[in-house]
């Protein structure tokens, strides 16, 4: 069957960059190229992307990854970040920037919806937790705060539908991305009327829904020529980066979890039918008619490490040099960081709290603590937070047998070891960190009938290395995790007061 698989151009469009990759029939990464773009943060809480800068990076990444390739892949599949929203006018031109998942302008709207019974009711239909990231809540914010844009908007788009419109000239979105909007009904597999009514839009104002495995068309001839693609290049709709990351690391069977840490982080498991947390703390998103991902994202992963790096280091180190220093320095510090704890909530937090007002802190800081203590405490805090999501998933979908990891954090051996020790399970990592892109290739082969099931992903991509937990450290971190949760509870009452205090100071 291997020789029948096509080479796949898999493109992952994320929060700050586009990664274009080519995989051969053996699921081997042949070529990759990344092109970045800045986030736009003109006001407190606003985190946007320029849609045209995204397209420029998308085009450039594809052109560069295909440069010098003699036999161009005939199939392209797309992975994109979730929760983006953009208003489009009657001429198919953006009225706004792409409002990203990290944008918090709708925080108050989310809090009001979350505090009432309607919030849980909508979650139970859509599987999307009530939070400022959700397009459902962003739409209501636009209705109340940007009425001129709201009434001029012909269509509400997202990152995936914007890319597909560029390629095809038609507004479509896959069900995986749609199911993360808060507007998609998991049972009916259509836009949910109650959600639409709540935010005041119609189904006609949203892109047409397509299956994740649909071949949605071929690249427009003029664009294909510009990008260096064949005119017969087929486009498979693809899915969200989170759903595809599970496929890309082979976390598809019961008891197998995928954990990713990039700028943010997430824990996800795959199930065969929708499963919802009674309190709305975990997401449940569509992959295809027989597969769903359940789990939770955390806001603060690599972004917190880079913040501390900027404060503590000279700034002249390369990324690789930084990870070398991180490994050497943090490895000198014993598990538990000599009593220093970090609550890693510098950008608020999603799972399991779904609160924008929480803030970060260090507890137990003493004169004995060095910069290496601070860094280890940050890494441990991120792992403790991920473990709180693992804990919820165990209650919802059953015990964990294995964990497969992806993301930039896998470059750090010490960080991988800390995560294995905190969770207390073997942690498998891959040869490369392009989990979502490889997941896109697997989905493409499944759509083309070149693999028989998504469960084959686990066999096609065994971990390159498995990091076993050290049992003495597991016991230490179990004790630390209990204390971590107590500290979180102690700080809970102060978060809103801290936020109000900071806002008063900013206004003076």
Is the pLDDT confidence value at 365 over 60? yes
Q: Above 90 in pLDDT, residue 247?
A: yes
Q: Give the count of beta carbons closer than 10 Å to the beta carbon of residue 3.
A: 6
- How far apart, in whole angstroms, are the C-alpha atoms of residue 11 and residue 33? 10
Q: What per-residue confidence (pLDDT) applies to 356? A: 81
Residue 303, C-beta contacts closer than 8 angstroms, at least 6 positions apart: 263, 264, 346, 347
Phi, psi of 259, deg, nearest 5: -125, 125
In tens, the pLDDT along 408-447 reads 888 899 999 999 999 999 999 887 667 899 999 999 999 9
| 466: β partners | 428
Does the predicted TM-score (pTM) go above 0.75? yes
Note the pLDDT tens digit of each residue in 105-114: 999 999 999 9
Q: What is the pLDDT of residues 250-262, one digit of tens each?
A: 999 999 999 999 8
Which architecture characterizes domain 2-244 according to CATH?
Answer: 2-Layer Sandwich (3.30)
C-beta separation of 429 from 475 below 8 A: no
Query: Among candidates 146, 128, 142, which has minimal Cα distance to 183?
Result: 128
Arithmetic mean of pLDDT, 69-78 = 93
Q: What is the pLDDT of residues 265-319, one digit of tens each?
A: 999 999 999 999 999 999 999 999 999 999 999 999 988 998 888 887 655 556 6
Q: How many CB atoms lie within 10 A of CB 131?
A: 29
Report the alpha-carbon distance of residue 424 to residue 400 in Å, rounded.
Answer: 10
For residue 487, pLDDT beyond 80: yes
The pLDDT of residue 322 is 67
Average pLDDT estimate for 331-346: 97
Q: How far apart are CA 64 and CA 19, in angstroms?
A: 11
* The CATH number of the domain covering residues in 250-297+417-467: 3.30.420.40
Positions of CATH 3.30.420.40 in the chain: 2-244, 250-297+417-467, 302-395+473-507
Question: Tell me, what's the pLDDT at 318?
Answer: 60
Banded pLDDT at 368 (limits 50, 70, 90): very high
pLDDT at 475 over 70: yes
Vertex 206: Cα angle to 204 and 209 (nearest 5): 100
Structure tokens at 438: 């490889």
Considering the chain, what percentage of its residues have pLDDT values greater than 70?
96
Q: SS in 3 state form for 357-378?
A: CCCCEEECCCCCCCHHHHHHHH
For 468, residues 6+ apart whose C-beta sits below 8 A from its C-beta are 420, 426
Res. 359: pLDDT tops 80? yes
List 473's β-bridge partners, or say none. Answer: none
Partners of 271 in the β-ladder: 292
pLDDT at 57 over 70: yes
The overall average pLDDT reported for the chain is: 93
Q: Determine the pLDDT at residue 471.
A: 96
Dihedral, CA of residue 365, residue 369, residue 373 and residue 377, to nearest 10: -10
pLDDT given at position 492: 80
Q: Which residues contact 502 (CB under 8 A, 6 or more apart)?
A: none
pLDDT tens readout for residues 127-145: 999 999 999 999 999 999 9
**Domain 302-395+473-507 falls in which CATH fold?**
Nucleotidyltransferase; domain 5 (3.30.420)
pLDDT (tens digit, 9 = 90+) per residue, 372-411?
A: 999 999 999 999 999 999 999 999 999 999 999 988 888 8
Rounded distance, CA 37 to CA 57, Å?
7
> What mean pLDDT do residues 202-218 have?
98
pLDDT score, position 314: 55
């Amino acid at each position: 069957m291997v020789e029948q698989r096509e080479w796949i151009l898999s493109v992952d469009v994320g929060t700050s960059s586009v990664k274009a990759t080519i995989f051969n029939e053996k699921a081997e990464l042949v070529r990759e190229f990344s092109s970045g773009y800045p986030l736009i943060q003109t006001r407190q809480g606003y985190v946007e992307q320029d849609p045209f800068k995204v397209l420029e990076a998308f085009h450039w990444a594809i052109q560069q990854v295909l440069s010098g390739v003699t036999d161009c892949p005939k199939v392209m599949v797309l992975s994109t970040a979730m929760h983006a929203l953009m208003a489009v006018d009657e001429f198919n031109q953006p009225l706004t920037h792409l409002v990203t998942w990290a944008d918090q302008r709708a925080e108050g709207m989310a809090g009001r919806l979350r505090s009432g019974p309607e919030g849980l009711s909508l979650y139970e239909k859509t599987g999307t937790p009530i939070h400022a990231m959700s397009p459902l809540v962003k739409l209501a914010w636009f209705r109340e705060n940007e009425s001129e844009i709201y009434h001029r908007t012909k269509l509400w788009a997202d990152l995936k539908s914007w890319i597909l419109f560029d390629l095809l000239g038609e507004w479509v979105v896959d069900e995986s991305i749609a199911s993360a909007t808060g507007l998609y009904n998991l049972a009916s597999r259509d836009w949910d009327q109650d959600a639409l009514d709540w935010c005041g839009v119609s189904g006609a104002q949203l892109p047409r829904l397509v299956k994740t495995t649909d071949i949605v068309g071929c690249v427009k001839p003029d664009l294909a020529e510009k990008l260096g693609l064949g005119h017969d290049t087929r486009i498979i709709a693809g899915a969200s980066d989170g759903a595809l990351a599970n496929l890309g690391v082979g976390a598809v069977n019961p008891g197998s979890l995928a954990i990713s840490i990039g700028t943010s982080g997430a824990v996800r498991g795959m199930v065969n039918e929708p499963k919802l947390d009674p309190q709305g703390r975990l997401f449940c998103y569509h992959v295809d008619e027989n597969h769903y991902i359940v789990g939770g994202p955390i806001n603060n992963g690599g972004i917190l490490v880079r913040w501390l790096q900027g404060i503590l280091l000279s700034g002249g180190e390369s990324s690789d040099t930084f990870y070398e220093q991180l490994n050497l320095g943090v490895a000198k510090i014993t598990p538990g960081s000599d009593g220093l704890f970090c609550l890693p909530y510098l950008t608020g937090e999603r799972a399991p709290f779904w609160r924008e007002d929480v803030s970060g802190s260090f507890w137990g800081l003493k004169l004995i603590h060095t910069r290496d203590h601070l860094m280890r405490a940050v890494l441990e805090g991120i792992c403790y937070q991920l473990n709180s999501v693992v804990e919820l998933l165990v209650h919802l979908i059953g015990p964990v047998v294995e964990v497969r990891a992806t993301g930039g954090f896998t470059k750090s051996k010490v960080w991988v070891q800390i995560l294995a020790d905190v969770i207390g399970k073997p942690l498998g990592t891959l040869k490369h960190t392009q989990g979502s892109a490889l997941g896109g290739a697997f989905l493409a082969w499944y759509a083309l009938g070149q693999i028989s099931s998504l469960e084959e992903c686990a066999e096609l991509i065994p971990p390159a290395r498995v990091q076993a937990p050290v049992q003495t450290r597991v016991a230490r971190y179990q004790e630390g995790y209990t204390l971590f949760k107590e500290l979180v509870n102690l700080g809970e009452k102060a978060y809103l007061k801290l936020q109000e205090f900071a806002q008063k100071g900013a206004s003076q």
